[in-house]
Structure 1
Amino acid sequence: MSSENLENFESDAQLALYEEYKNVSGLFTYIVETERRFYLANSVQVTPHLKEGTVFFEIEMQDVWVWDIFRSSRFVKNVRVYSVRDVNIEERTPGEEFMIPPMDGLQPPEA
């Protein structure tokens, strides 16, 4: 596979993931962002831990959609993540329009 074909494949996969995100976003209450992944979830619990002078966070989520281009199934019943950096959690207001984050270099297809 040429580097151009690989680049096109990755771009197409990212665009498909973005479209899937737009389609499923209304099903979830929370938007969770860690240093490694982006999640949509219906239940989130964050527990801070201090061990040997280091603070880290344990994030437990239920009914989760995982932003990961390489997963065959992005819907997961339960997820537990440990993060050593800040964790961003946003709760959506019912009826609120879901804001799609900008994706540098990717343009959504024309409607």
Structure 2
Amino acid sequence: MSAEDLENYETEMELQLYREYRDVVSLFSYVVETERRFYLANSVDLQVRTADGETYFEVTLHDAWVWDVYRPARFVRDVRVVTFKDVNVEELQKRDIEVPDTPELRDR
């Protein structure tokens, strides 16, 4: 496989992931962003913890979708994330979840 073939494959995978996101975002109530992943979820519990002078975040998600191009199953019933970086949790408003349908992103 050439470098160009690999780049084309990765581009196509990312485009498919965006299309999936566009199709499922309206099913969820929250967007959660951690240092490593982006999630959609219907239930979020964020706890700030301290141990040995270090602060970390424990996030529990239920009925989630994971933005990960290499993950074969992106729908997950329960997720527990522990991170030392900030966590961003936003509640989606129905008007916030309209994803533009641009011609270059339509299914071919």
Q: TM-score, normalised by structure 2?
A: 0.90
Higher helix share: 2
2:95 maps to which residue?
96
Q: State how many pairs are aligned.
A: 104
2:73 matches 1:76: no
Per the alignment, do residues 110 and 20 of structure 1 end up closer, same or farther by CA in structure 2, a change over 3 Å counting?
closer
Percent of aligned pairs with the same amino acid: 47
2:21 maps to which residue?
21
After superposition, give the CA deviation of every residue in 1:32-88 in whole Å (9 maximum; x if it has no partner). 000000000000001111111111000000000000011111000000001111100
DSSP 3-state at the match of 1:85: coil
Aligned residue type for 1:98: I
DSSP 3-state at the match of 1:36: coil
5 Å-filtered alignment, 1:56-71, equals 56-71=56-71
User: Structure 1: 5+ residue runs without aligned partners?
Assistant: 101-106
Aligned residue type for 1:50: T
Aligned residue type for 2:97: F
- How many angstroms apart in 2 are the aligned matches of 1:4 and 1:16? 18
Q: Which runs of 4+ in 1 moved over 2 A?
A: 107-111
- How many angstroms apart in 2 are the aligned matches of 1:86 and 1:99? 26
2:8 maps to which residue?
8
- How many angstroms apart in 1 are the aligned matches of 2:38 and 2:14? 14
Instruction: Give the superposed CA RMSD.
Output: 1.7
